[in-house]
Amino acid sequence: MATTLRRATPAAPRSRGRRGGRSPYPGWFYLPAAVVYGVLFLVPTLASFYFALTRWTIFTSEFIGLGNFVQFFQEPALTKGFVNTFIYAAITSGAKVVLGLALGMLLTSQILGRGYLRAVVFFPVLVSTVGVGITFQVLMNPSKGAINAALGVIGVHGPGWLVDPSLALLSVALVDIWKGVGLATLIYMAGIVSIPKEYYEAARVDGAGSWTLFRDVIFPLSWPATSTVVTLSLIGGLRSFYLIWSMTRGGPGFTSDVIASVIYKQYQAGFYGLSTAGNVILFIAVIAIVLPLTRFLARKEVEL
Amino acid sequence: MALRPTRSWTLKGLAVLVLAPFALSACSAGSLGSSDASGSAGGTTITWLTGTDEVAQANAKAIVDAFEKANPDVTVKLDARPAGADGDNLVKTRLQTGTMPDVFDYNSGSLFQQIAPTKNLTPLTGKPLEKAVQKSFTPQVTAGEDVYGVPYGTAFGGGVMYNRAVFDKLGLQVPKTWAEFMDVSAKIKAAGIAPVIQTYQDTWTSQLFVLGDFHNVAAANPQWAEEYTTNKAKYATDPNAIQGFQHLQAVHDAGYENADFASIKLEDGMRELAAGTGAMYPILSANVSTLQSVAPDKLGDIGFFALPGDDAATNGLTAWYPNAVYVPTTTKGDKLAAAEKLLGFIASPAGCDALTSVSAPTGPYLVDGCQLPTDVPQVTKDVQAYFDSGAQSPALEFLSPVKGPNLEQITVEIGSGIRSAADGAALYDEDVKKQAQQLGLSGW
């Protein structure tokens, strides 16, 4: 077959500057953005690395070395938040990948009301996170909420979604999945429709059933979509704050605390140095997880 | 294709119609509440930063109205800040950046110590405005040698609001020891009523069993607060201090809590208390204002008693001092003079009367000459009785600057049965270490 193979990742374009000597001209275009990026992102990040090593009371700061980091890992409340973060990120990104793929397959097939269903699936992504959090907090009220009322109609005694210590984090994760699956579906839809028709025809000619079609054609060729969804939802899950804060504030007790809410609570209590140290830990944790993951996912990309 | 003028005009018209409202949105809302350069008729205008909730704003407005009548050359504008930890941060940030309005009110005691008063506030020592302030209050707004604030509002107590109608119906007496408290709770539970109401959606209310018990701890060991501040006494190892935590666990383990304790808030708790579906509610007496707003007709049914310890003889109230009004160092000149006039008004019988007119007092005012009217709620009368008989002592936060931020979560865990009292007390001892180190206290 004369299908020309294109490289999955195009070769890096040669910079204009290299043609005919090093021209600084392109640099001038980059400069304003660089200044904004530097002042608003790089400088505060570097400053926060310094303040994480201090005891900071907004009026004074006293250098204490790694004391904040040691404290972060010693206190049970803080380590519980660390563990919860990983659980939360794993659950939400795993579910978003699976559900996103399933919905993506469904919404790229010929079903009735496809356009309407696409809108319905994507709509939660657009709504304010805090609004969603407050709404679901009301819906999940164990005695007065609509969810348990609906379950009661069919005879099921609904649990205390947000007040049961073992369920609180899971309930928030479920709402997070509901809210974020639309974006994953969108990315998967783009990945699936970009698969050239020749592959489907070739597979059908070779006698592939729908499961084989999925496993050997659709899933490998939509791998860029999978890696994007995994990376984005993992980063989002590790950093998640708004939903947890508006639904449970990390409660009951410490059971649904994640790193971001722990950081915010330290900030609220006025321990600015400790809070900044938490942020540095989160920064390092996210990089330590996502960088190798991205490389692993990119290596498995099948060339189209 | 030739351009058809009619269609392009319709499109343009449509575009203009759609985009015009966006141009209107550029109109600013005007200056909402920011003070003008100077008031009308050459008077001074100052701004007062107070709480954003309805009760706080109503209280401040009552004072401002009465004050402006008495001092027509001064106008006071109100600014708002949230309560709780968000408000703490706002106050600290505005003080640090020098953007604090001319006058603001904030807690006294340990929270007052945390806003670096010697650096940020104007001392008021020896000025006539603070002459009427009672001596029991002055240490709460003193840092170093100077006094920095005047009391705003009434003192109040931390204890138990109870439904007198339920107690009368079941023939029960107010418990004076913890054993009696558990006894009373058992009888109430047998009658099908929730003995103890808890409202863990407002996490701060879970702390009452621990913080409201301090009178009993201080009665057993008057030196405890000092030892605590120097890291010599701890909750986990002190048999008296740990009782607050143990009581909370006991109440949960005996099943005396209301069924929906984990999912309701303060107002719902008050409603249950007023309706008689719950008999006792450990809360601050200052929250009688909440009771007033949700069930004004049941105010007479609700009384107040102090959390009992082991000894009936030393039974007494753990008292909270009121917030105070302060003046930052950035207020100068005419505005400083006007601010001092406002503070003098607040710390005077006229100021007390203005506050009484708009919200029920929850305890005594700490200003000489201020009287409580006779038609205050039963809760306030009960609290006043403790003050009158001298059976009260300050809460820990007024004797020691050490208070950890996680207490409310720890007490929610104990009250929900997630953590044991011993564990919770040990965890809290670890938690306060952060605060003590942040304050630079010695011995930690």
A98-137 per-position pLDDT tens digit = 999 999 999 998 888 999 999 999 999 999 999 999 999 9
Find the largest Cα–Cα distance for chain A.
78
Contact A253 B416 (CB under 8 A): yes
Residue B126: phi and psi, rounded to 5, are 80, -5
Contact B263 A253 (CB under 8 A): no
Report d(CA A92, CA A293) in Å as an integer.
Answer: 16
Q: Is the peptide bond before A252 cis (omega within 30 degrees of 0)?
A: yes
Higher-pLDDT residue of A304 and A32 is A32
Residues of chain B within CATH 3.40.190.10 domain(s) are 42-154+322-358, 156-320+378-439
pLDDT on residue B370? 87
Domain spans in chain A, listed from the N-terminal domain onward: 31-299
ipTM exceeding the 0.90 mark: no
Residue of B nearest to A256 (CA): B409
Q: Which residues in chain B are contacts of A143 at CB distance < 8 A?
A: 259-260, 263
Contact B427 A141 (CB under 8 A): no
Question: How sure is the predictor about A41, in pLDDT bands with cuts at 50, 70 and 90?
Answer: very high
- Range 94-153 of A in CB contact (< 8 A) with B: 141-143
pLDDT on residue B188? 95
Which residues in B2-136 belong to E strands, given as ranges? Answer: 44-51, 74-81, 103-106
Question: How sure is the predictor about A2, in pLDDT bands with cuts at 50, 70 and 90?
Answer: low
Contact A252 B434 (CB under 8 A): no
Q: Which residues in chain A are contacts of B203 at CB distance < 8 A?
A: 249, 251
Contact B260 A143 (CB under 8 A): yes
Does B406 contact A at CB distance below 8 Å?
Answer: yes
Q: Which residues in chain B are contacts of A250 at CB distance < 8 A?
A: 409
Contact B409 A55 (CB under 8 A): no
Higher-pLDDT residue of A186 and B390 is A186
Going by C-alpha positions, the residue among A224, A208, A227 that lies closest to residue A216 is A208
pLDDT on residue A72? 83
Which tokens hold the place of B47? 């701004």
Higher-pLDDT residue of B49 and A302 is B49
pLDDT at A1 over 80: no
Provide the CATH number for the domain formed by A31-299 in this structure.
Answer: 1.10.3720.10
Contact pairs from chain A to chain B, CB under 8 Å? 84
Does B416 contact A at CB distance below 8 Å?
Answer: yes
Does B220 contact A at CB distance below 8 Å?
Answer: no
Going by C-alpha positions, the residue among A78, A158, A127, A98 that lies closest to residue A243 is A127
Helix axis angle for A272-299 and A43-51, nearest 10°, is 120
Does B231 contact A at CB distance below 8 Å?
Answer: no
Contact B92 A270 (CB under 8 A): yes
Provide the CATH number for the domain formed by B156-320+378-439 in this structure.
Answer: 3.40.190.10
Residue of B nearest to A75 (CA): B430
Write b or e for each residue in A103-137: b if 16 or more Cβ atoms lie within 10 A of its Cβ, otherwise e.
Answer: bbbebbeeeeeeeeebeebbebeeeebeebbeebb
Cβ-nearest to A253 among B412, B435, B437: B412
Does B118 contact A at CB distance below 8 Å?
Answer: no
pLDDT at A15 over 60: no
pLDDT at A261 over 80: yes
Contact B200 A59 (CB under 8 A): no
Predicted confidence (pLDDT) per residue in B278-332, tens digit: 999 999 998 888 888 889 899 899 999 999 998 888 999 999 999 999 999 999 9
Residue B103: phi and psi, rounded to 5, are -140, 145
What residue has token string 């990309």? Answer: A301
The neighbour count for residue B192, using CB atoms within 10 Å, is 7
Residues with Cβ within 8 Å of residue B375, at least 6 apart in sequence: none
Best A55, A70, A254, A275 member to test B by mutation, with max B CBs in 10 Å, is A254
Predicted confidence (pLDDT) per residue in A69-81, tens digit: 988 888 777 788 8
Residue of B nearest to A54 (CA): B438
Contact A141 B263 (CB under 8 A): yes
Report d(CA B441, CA A66) in Å as an integer.
Answer: 20
Report d(CA B316, CA B218) in Å as an integer.
Answer: 11
**CATH class (in words) of the domain with range B42-154+322-358:** alpha beta
DSSP A230-247: HHHHHHHHHH--HHHHHH
pLDDT on residue B56? 86
Does A239 contact B at CB distance below 8 Å?
Answer: no
Q: pLDDT tens digits for chain B (444 residues)?
A: 455 555 566 676 676 666 655 655 555 444 444 444 444 446 889 999 998 888 889 899 999 999 999 999 999 999 999 877 778 888 988 998 999 999 999 999 888 888 889 999 999 998 888 888 888 888 889 988 899 999 998 899 999 999 999 999 999 999 999 999 999 999 999 999 999 999 998 888 999 999 999 999 999 999 999 999 999 999 999 999 999 999 999 999 999 999 999 989 999 999 999 999 999 999 999 888 888 888 989 989 999 999 999 888 899 999 999 999 999 999 999 999 999 999 999 999 999 999 988 887 888 888 888 888 888 889 988 998 888 888 888 899 888 888 888 898 999 999 999 999 999 999 999 889 888 888 788 888
Q: How close are the terminal C-alpha atoms of chain A, in Å?
A: 14
pLDDT on residue A19? 54
Does A52 contact B at CB distance below 8 Å?
Answer: no
pLDDT at A5 over 70: no
Higher-pLDDT residue of B11 and A245 is A245
pLDDT on residue B22? 63
Which tokens hold the place of A105? 């397959």
Does A81 contact B at CB distance below 8 Å?
Answer: no
Question: How sure is the predictor about A27, in pLDDT bands with cuts at 50, 70 and 90?
Answer: confident
- B58 in Cβ contact with A21 (< 8 Å): no
pTM for the whole structure: 0.79
pLDDT on residue A109? 87
- Identity of residue B367: V
pLDDT on residue B37? 43
Q: How close does chain A come to B219, measured CA to CA in Å?
A: 30
Report d(CA A157, CA A143) in Å as an integer.
Answer: 10
SS3 of residue B165 by DSSP = helix
Residues with Cβ within 8 Å of residue A166, at least 6 apart in sequence: A255
